[in-house]
């Protein structure tokens, strides 16, 4: 229990520190690294809640795959040389106010529920009767109760891939309109 | 660790109700087939086969939805979906809207760069996502269906790859839409945290039994959910993206978005308020009423100064969302019927303006008010359809728009929200200002064009009177059909009203 407590505070500090660093660091590359720290700390928090599946998914999908993509993009477009642009004017000045308002609202919501759990000892070690959130249970739910969302998710990924390819194709440059071009092509030149 | 490896003794496979699911499978399969058919090179395949496949898919799915009307309501796939009349009526609406969009896009220059197969395939996918959303019964399905229709729509908005405005519109919609989705997801997560379930029915039970109506977690969750949905339905003050995206997106896509996106979101709002959070109606009713007033006022004021027709229709769409919201606020069968009915006639009222915009864009006249000048003389059929649509949108009698508003007002008065009825009437009066301005531009601005026709300028500009209506018979036909529809259903609203009533009863009897 003591070890859990220590681990919790380390992970919590890592999560908050990482999130703050993402916003505050000037160099996009360091921001991405801070985000990795943040996501790693979140995975530890999930593990402390006995949500092994989510912890593993968090590490593999976010800290692993997504972040590698971010690192590639940042180093590809040379983000390190260009610090994030200032400017923006009024929207930029308003942004902290809205963010603060959202923080207050969420804090209110959490104060109502999370604070009541302060005296408890966190999640219980699951046993056979109480297998909530284990990988087995998640797998079973995905193929029974949540079969449709599971299938829709796969279709969604296919469609998103099609979308990405359609948009990426224009990198080769747009070709001249050919025989397949519209009967009404004269409208195009005027745009 | 052995304790963790709890072997599930017997996993029972869920029963799959294939019959009820056929229309969804048709859409999913059709999207894939259309995509692959577009790999066949050649003009015939590209301009004939691919659109034909897309249209056939939509019609087949629509037929299956229509056959299913009045069937026993079915909870499908362990309660992930509920295919009832509400879902079917709205799905038919999405399909009709997509068919209109295909007709508008059929000879559009946009499609060649983007790829015809990809365009139609993504459009069908959007319809599938919307159909799933209209029948969703739990929060997980809701979110996935919402993303399934949003993501292809972001890309469709950017389909006009040669025009910066279209790309900007795509990016803008992507960013605002993602913000809306994220807010919605936050709301859904908090709702799940407060009620302990993702099923609409179970949330309802939890709310009515466990006295957690005042729980801050739940209320914040519901509020964030509404904010996310308001982004999608362009309810003020979350509407800022609407005019920009409408203006930038290719016109066929805008025509589809204007009706179908709004309908899909309102289908979900009706279900969510009517099934899931009905027990805490006292909490959300005043908030939605206030949102409705703000939306009506902001939409109508915003539309007044617009120079671009598409922006004007964007703001007008915001105002219409406000009217539709009134039917949700009263949370009664009358209100749901009025909202569904108004959504149905909204399809008819919205087609002609976008057909006219498409025709004017192809004639090189642009989509501003200037492009409309002299339309009454050049293409009387288009001008008449546009006039009727504008009158219907503003809610004047003998049009479907009038009947639609009448039912909304009836529902508002019946639900003790008579002051909302007054707001609807005032909003409609305000809207006359800009709708009639469009009509005036078409019929009264003929002088300048008449002289240029005489001197032959217009022929050079590709806008000669003969060419105008003969060059795109499909646009004229669909505009005339839609305008005829908005008059016919204004005089004889019976059939649509029956559909709307069945839809309203089908999901409200669950909770009654």
Give the best residue of B1, B192, B217, B366 to mutate against chain A (max A CB count within 10 A): B217
Q: Which of B14, B215, B221 sits opposite A147 (nearest CB)?
A: B14
Number of neighbouring beta carbons within 10 Å of residue A167? 18
In tens, the pLDDT along B169-188 reads 999 999 999 999 999 999 99
Strand partners, B81: B76, B136
**pLDDT reported for residue A119:** 66
Alpha-carbon distances, residue B300 vs A160, B1, B312, B368, B423 (angstroms): 36, 64, 9, 18, 12
Residue A38 belongs to domain with CATH number: 1.20.120.1200
Q: Token pair for residue B184?
A: 């919605």
Q: Is the pLDDT of residue B458 over 60?
A: no
Give chain A's length.
Answer: 191
Domain termination residue (choose one: A48, A63, A82): A82
- Answer yes or no: do A75 and A14 share one domain: yes
Q: State the residue range of the domain holding A138.
A: 133-171
Distance in Å, alpha carbon of A50 to nearest chain B alpha carbon: 10
Confidence at B48, pLDDT banded by 50, 70, 90: confident
Round the average pLDDT of chain A to a whole number and report it: 78
- Determine, yes or no, domain membership for A127: no
In tens, the pLDDT along B212-246 reads 767 788 888 999 999 999 999 999 889 989 999 99
User: CA-nearest residue of chain A to B116?
Assistant: A180
**pLDDT reported for residue B6:** 46
Weakest mean pLDDT among A68-82, A176-190, B65-79: A176-190
Which chain B residues contact residue A107 at CB under 8 A?
none
Strand partners, B466: none
> In the predicted model, what is the mean pLDDT of residues B82-104?
93
Give chain B's length.
Answer: 512
Distance CA B104, CA B114 (A): 16
- The alpha carbon of B214 is separated from its chain's Cα centroid by a whole number of angstroms, namely 33
Q: Is the pLDDT of residue B147 over 50?
A: yes
Contact B7/A136, CB-based, under 8 Å?
A: yes
Give the best residue of B1, B2, B4 to mutate against chain A (max A CB count within 10 A): B4
Backbone phi and psi for residue B308, each to the nearest 5 degrees, phi listed first: -95, 135
Contact B141/A125, CB-based, under 8 Å?
A: no
Q: Report helix, strand or coil for A185.
A: coil
Round the average pLDDT of chain B to a whole number and report it: 86
Weakest mean pLDDT among A115-129, B85-99, B101-115, B441-455: B441-455
* Pick from B257, B265, B277: nearest CA to B325: B265
User: Which distant-in-sequence residues (6+ apart) come within 8 Å of B33 by Cβ?
Assistant: B53, B57
Confidence at B303, pLDDT banded by 50, 70, 90: very high
- Determine, yes or no, domain membership for A76: yes
Contact B8/A140, CB-based, under 8 Å?
A: yes
> In the predicted model, what is the mean pLDDT of residues B126-147?
94
- Determine, yes or no, domain membership for A137: yes
- Determine, yes or no, domain membership for A114: no
Which chain A residues contact residue B46 at CB under 8 A?
180
Q: Is the pLDDT of residue B13 over 70?
A: yes
> In the predicted model, what is the mean pLDDT of residues B475-491?
92
**pLDDT reported for residue B19:** 83
**Are the C-beta atoms of B120 and B54 separated by less than 8 Å?**
yes
**For the CA atoms of B60, B66, B67, B73, what is the dihedral angle to 10 degrees?**
120
User: CA-nearest residue of chain A to B166?
Assistant: A191
Q: Report helix, strand or coil for A79.
A: coil
> In the predicted model, what is the mean pLDDT of residues A157-180?
73
- Determine, yes or no, domain membership for A57: yes
Confidence at A191, pLDDT banded by 50, 70, 90: very low
The b/e string for A128-164 (b: 16+ C-beta within 10 A; e otherwise) is eeebebbbbebebbeebbbbbbbebbebbeebeebbe
ipTM associated with this complex: 0.87
- Determine, yes or no, domain membership for A100: no
- Determine, yes or no, domain membership for A176: no
Weakest mean pLDDT among A50-54, B219-223, B456-460: B456-460
Q: Considering its fold, how many domains does chain A have in total?
A: 2
User: Which distant-in-sequence residues (6+ apart) come within 8 Å of B161 by Cβ?
Assistant: A170, A174, B110, B113, B114, B167
Confidence at A172, pLDDT banded by 50, 70, 90: low
Alpha-carbon distances, residue B364 vs A83, B267, B372 (angstroms): 43, 37, 11
Which contacts qualify for B303-307: CB closer than 8 Å, 24 or more apart? B303/B431, B303/B434, B304/B430, B304/B433, B304/B434, B306/B243, B306/B434, B307/B368, B307/B369
Distance CA B437, CA B261 (A): 27
**Are the C-beta atoms of B495 and B341 separated by less than 8 Å?**
no
Q: Is the pLDDT of residue B119 over 80?
A: yes
What is the 8-class DSSP label of residue A84? P
**pLDDT reported for residue B3:** 46
Q: Is the pLDDT of residue A128 over 80?
A: no
Q: Report helix, strand or coil for B336.
A: helix
- Determine, yes or no, domain membership for A26: yes
Region label for B17, one of left (φ > 0), alpha (ψ between -120 and 50) or beta (otherwise): beta
Which chain A residues contact residue B471 at CB under 8 A?
183-184
What is the 8-class DSSP label of residue B138? B
């Amino acid at each position: 229990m003591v070890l859990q407590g220590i681990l919790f505070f380390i992970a919590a500090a890592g999560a908050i520190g990482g999130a703050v660093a993402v916003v505050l660091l000037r160099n996009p590359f360091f921001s991405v690294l801070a985000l990795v720290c943040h996501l790693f700390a979140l995975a530890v928090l999930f593990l402390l809640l006995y949500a092994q599946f989510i912890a593993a998914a968090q590490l593999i999908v976010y800290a692993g795959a997504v972040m590698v993509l971010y690192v590639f993009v940042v180093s590809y477009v040379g983000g390190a040389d260009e610090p994030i642009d200032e400017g923006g004017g009024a929207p930029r000045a308003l942004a902290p106010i809205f963010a603060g308002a959202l923080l207050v609202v969420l804090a209110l919501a959490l104060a109502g529920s999370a604070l009541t759990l302060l005296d408890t000892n966190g999640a219980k070690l699951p046993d056979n009767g109480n297998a909530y959130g284990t990988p087995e249970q998640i797998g079973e739910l995905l193929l029974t109760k949540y079969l449709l969302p599971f299938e829709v998710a796969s279709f969604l990924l296919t469609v998103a891939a099609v979308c990405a390819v359609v948009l990426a194709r224009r990198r080769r440059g747009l070709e001249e309109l050919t025989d397949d071009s519209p009967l009404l092509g004269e409208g195009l030149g005027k745009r | 660790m052995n304790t963790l490896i709890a072997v599930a003794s017997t996993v029972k496979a869920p029963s799959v109700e294939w019959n009820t699911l056929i229309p969804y499978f048709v859409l999913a399969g059709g999207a894939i087939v259309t995509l692959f058919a577009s790999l066949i090179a050649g003009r015939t395949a590209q301009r004939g086969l691919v659109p034909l496949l897309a249209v056939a898919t939509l019609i087949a799915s629509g037929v299956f939805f229509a056959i299913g009307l009045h069937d026993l309501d079915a909870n499908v796939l362990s309660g992930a979906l509920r295919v009832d009349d509400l879902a079917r009526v709205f799905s038919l609406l999405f399909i009709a809207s997509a068919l209109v969009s295909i007709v508008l896009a059929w000879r559009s220059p946009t499609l060649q760069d983007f790829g015809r197969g990809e365009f139609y395939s993504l459009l069908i996918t959007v319809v599938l996502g919307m159909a799933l959303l209209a029948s969703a019964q739990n929060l997980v399905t809701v979110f996935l269906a919402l993303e399934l229709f949003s993501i292809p729509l972001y890309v469709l908005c950017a389909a006009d790859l040669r025009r910066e405005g279209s790309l900007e519109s795509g990016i803008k919609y992507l960013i605002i839409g993602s913000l809306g989705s994220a807010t919605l997801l936050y709301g859904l997560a908090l709702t799940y945290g407060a009620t302990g379930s993702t099923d609409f029915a179970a949330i309802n039970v939890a709310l009515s039994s466990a006295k957690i109506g005042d729980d801050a977690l739940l209320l914040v969750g519901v509020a964030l959910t509404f904010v996310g949905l308001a982004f999608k339905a362009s309810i003020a003050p979350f509407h800022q993206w609407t005019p920009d995206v409408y203006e930038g997106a290719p016109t066929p896509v805008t025509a589809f978005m204007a009706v179908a996106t709004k309908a899909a979101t309102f289908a979900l709002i009706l279900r969510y308020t009517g099934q899931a959070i009905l027990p805490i109606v006292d909490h959300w009713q005043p908030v939605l009423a206030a949102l409705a007033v703000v939306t009506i006022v902001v939409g109508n004021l915003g539309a007044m100064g617009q120079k671009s027709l598409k922006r004007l229709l964007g703001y007008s769409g915001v105002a219409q969302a406000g009217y539709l919201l009134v039917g949700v606020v009263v949370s009664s069968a009358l209100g749901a019927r009025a909202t569904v009915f108004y959504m149905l006639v909204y399809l008819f009222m919205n087609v002609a303006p976008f057909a006219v915009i498409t025709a004017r864009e192809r004639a090189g006249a642009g989509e501003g008010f200037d492009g409309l000048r002299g339309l009454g003389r050049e293409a009387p059929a288009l001008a008449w359809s546009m006039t009727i649509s504008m009158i219907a949108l503003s809610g004047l009698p003998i049009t479907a728009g009038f009947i639609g508003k009448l039912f909304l007002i009836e529902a508002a008065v019946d639900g003790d929200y008579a002051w909302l009825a007054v707001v609807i009437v005032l909003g409609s009066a305000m809207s006359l200002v800009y709708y009639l301005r469009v009509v005036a531009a078409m019929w009264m601005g003929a002088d300048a064009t008449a002289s240029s026709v005489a001197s032959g300028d217009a022929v050079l500009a590709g806008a000669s009177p003969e060419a105008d209506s003969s060059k795109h018979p499909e646009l004229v036909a669909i505009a005339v059909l839609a305008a005829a529809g908005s008059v016919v259903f204004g005089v004889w609203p019976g059939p649509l009203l029956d559909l709307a009533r069945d839809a309203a009863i089908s999901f409200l009897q669950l909770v009654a």
